[in-house]
Amino acid sequence: MEITSYRITPIAFADPPLRAAFGLHAPYALRTIIEIETDAGITGVGETHGGAQVVEDLEAVRDLVIGRDPYQLNALEALIWPSGDHTARTSTPWTGALRSPARTFGAIEVACLDIIGKATGRPVCDLLGGRVRDQVEFSAYLFYKHAGAGGRFGFDMNPAATGGWSAALQQEALDAEALVVQAQAMVAAFGFKSLKLKAGVLPPDEELRTIALLRAAFGPDVPLRLDPNANWSLETSQRCARQLQGVLEYYEDPVDGKAAMAQLARTVDLPLATNMCCVSFEDIVETFQQGSVQIILGDHHFWGGLRATVELARICRVWGIGLSMHSNSHLGISLAAMTHLAAAVPNLTYACDTHYPWQDEELIVGGKLQFQDGALAVPTTPGLGVEIDQTELARMHQQYLDCGLTHRNDEIEMQKIEPGWAAIRPRF
Ligand code: GKR
Ligand code: MG
């Protein structure tokens, strides 16, 4: 089989004004869609991070992809990997310094696995060794936020006119009480059984109060996670840990960097997790030797694809490190890939992160994937099990062109509502 066409389409979709350590989400989130066609008439799809640099990286390997056999992933990886600068890392504040060839190859690999699955009549999880579970559990991802749901019309909608999750999607949530209302709406709509709070936004005591109210509202059987995205000093992290001990399932990236996380690990009795200080295979030795974390949030979008993340899982298993899954704003192609991956990794025992409930738009045929009791059923159809609605893809591409955003910059967005705001870390 031979790859005959390679299409890269940048898209934008409405994203609510969510807050994190880095500032404020823009009214649109950016992603990139990959479509690979073969001479067998089979097309595979993939989804990855968005923006001009991502598109440029994917376009740079066009000649390496065209004419290749999609089954020969090792050869393709060996070609793509050295094509990028090995020492230069693409740095995003929310995930740390990433290897851009890993991201580029990962996106192409997913599309190739979709092709192989369709050609062999097998779901992608079967190509990763087969499912160990039929349902993949996801966690509620809670954000402090401003009013509105993003996009052009988000700020004009009236929350009182809609109900349930649609209202919560619009509603401001800038204190502990409002966050609990958001959590209740999300759990009622999607059935999630664990909760993650995006922290590093409000003064730490308010975030601790939020955790206390969540615990009171949901009880001790609902695991809670807290992620300040390295916006707390070591002292703040230690002080807060004393109150979070016995309450959190894990404490995600309170401080910045492997060394500070290791120092924290020595003084607190809470499992530490990361998607910031260990984001590539090159980080593993130092992270594990220093004892910086007990859990890694894997993500096939930057670890180098689905197969690479399966390899990461085995390394974690050998070292006794737990595995969870990271997410950024994304649509259904990514969610389908995450679900196949989670289905095939025995030691992915934590409910996966997903931003998906925050996205109202979708470009897969049939509309949004549906959670049942906080979980997604692992697809049984060939490939990823999702197809692109070309009309929606074209619309979201136009939205990308019209919105004028070429990369995510939460600091600039924050300055629009708070002039002079700077993304200083640690803030607290
Ligand atoms: O979307 O603001 C956000 C999150 O903070 C995201 O950028 C992070 O990558 O979800 C993330 C995390 O650190 O877990
Ligand atoms: Mg995180």
Burial of 184 (0-12, 13-18, 19+ CB in 10 A): middle
Give the whole-angstrom CA distance, residue 46 versus residue 124. Answer: 12
Counting residues of the chain whose pLDDT is more than 70, the rounded percentage is: 94
In which element (H, E) is residue 385 found? none
Give the whole-angstrom CA distance, residue 80 versus residue 325. Answer: 25
Q: Which two tokens stand for residue 234?
A: 């070591």
Domain ranges of the chain: 3-128+390-402, 135-377
Give the whole-angstrom CA distance, residue 288 versus residue 48. Answer: 28
Dihedral, CA of residue 35, residue 276, residue 240 and residue 209, to nearest 10:
-20
Q: Residues 270, 252: contact at Cβ < 8 Å?
A: no
Give the whole-angstrom CA distance, residue 286 versus residue 8. Answer: 35
Between the alpha carbon of residue 344 and those of residues 42, 123, 165, 335, 340, the distances in Å are 24, 11, 31, 14, 6
Task: Tell whether domain 135-377 is in CATH 3.20.20.120.
Answer: yes
Model pLDDT, residue 152: 77
Q: How confident is the model at residue 397 (pLDDT cuts 50, 70, 90)?
A: very high
- Which ligand number lies closest to the CA of residue 93? 1
Tell me whether residue 198 is one of the annotated catalytic residues. yes
pLDDT at 93 over 90: no
In 3D space, the residue among 66, 61, 52 whose CA is nearest the CA of residue 101 turns out to be: 61
- Which residue type occupies 348? L
DSSP for 26-66 reads -SEEEEEEEEEEETTS-EEEEEEE-SHHHHHHHHHTHHHHT
Between the alpha carbon of residue 209 and those of residues 45, 76, 102, 244, 261, the distances in Å are 43, 50, 39, 10, 23
From the list 145, 193, 300, 326, the catalytic residue is 326
Q: Residues 298, 323: contact at Cβ < 8 Å?
A: yes
Q: Which two tokens stand for residue 54?
A: 């991502």
Model pLDDT, residue 88: 47
Q: Domain 3-128+390-402 adopts which CATH fold?
A: Enolase-like; domain 1 (3.30.390)
Average pLDDT for 323-345:
98
Nearest CA to ligand 1 atom 2: 20
Question: Which of 296, 328, 410 should be mutated for ligand 1, with most atoms under 8 A from CB?
Answer: 328
Supply the mean pLDDT for the chain.
94
Burial of 103 (0-12, 13-18, 19+ CB in 10 A): buried
Cβ-based neighbours of 132, under 8 Å, separated by 6 or more:
343, 344, 345, 346
From the list 25, 145, 196, 198, the catalytic residue is 198
Tokens 């049939």 correspond to what residue?
A: 366
pLDDT at 37 over 50: yes
Q: Residues 278, 284: contact at Cβ < 8 Å?
A: yes
Q: Residues 101, 81: contact at Cβ < 8 Å?
A: yes
Tell me whether residue 368 is one of the annotated catalytic residues. no
Look up residue 351 and give its DSSP letter: P
Cβ neighbour number for residue 373 with a 10 Å cutoff: 10
- Determine if ligand 1 sits within 6 Å of the CB of residue 359: no
pLDDT at 367 over 50: yes
Digit-coded pLDDT (tens) for 115-156:
999 999 999 999 999 999 999 999 999 999 999 999 975 544
Give the whole-angstrom CA distance, residue 338 versus residue 384. Answer: 10
Helix (H, G, I), strand (E, B) or coil at 91: strand
Digit-coded pLDDT (tens) for 178-199:
999 999 999 999 999 999 999 9
Question: Which of 19, 31, 94 should be mutated for ligand 1, with most atoms under 8 A from CB?
Answer: 94
Q: Which two tokens stand for residue 97?
A: 């310094």
Give the 3-state secondary structure percentages of the chain, helix then strand then coil, rounded to 5: 40, 20, 40
Burial of 386 (0-12, 13-18, 19+ CB in 10 A): buried
Digit-coded pLDDT (tens) for 221-268:
999 999 999 999 999 999 999 999 999 999 999 999 999 999 999 999
In 3D space, the residue among 308, 382, 384 whose CA is nearest the CA of residue 340 turns out to be: 384
Digit-coded pLDDT (tens) for 282-293:
999 999 999 999
Q: Which atom of ligand 1 is nearest to the CA of 275?
A: 13
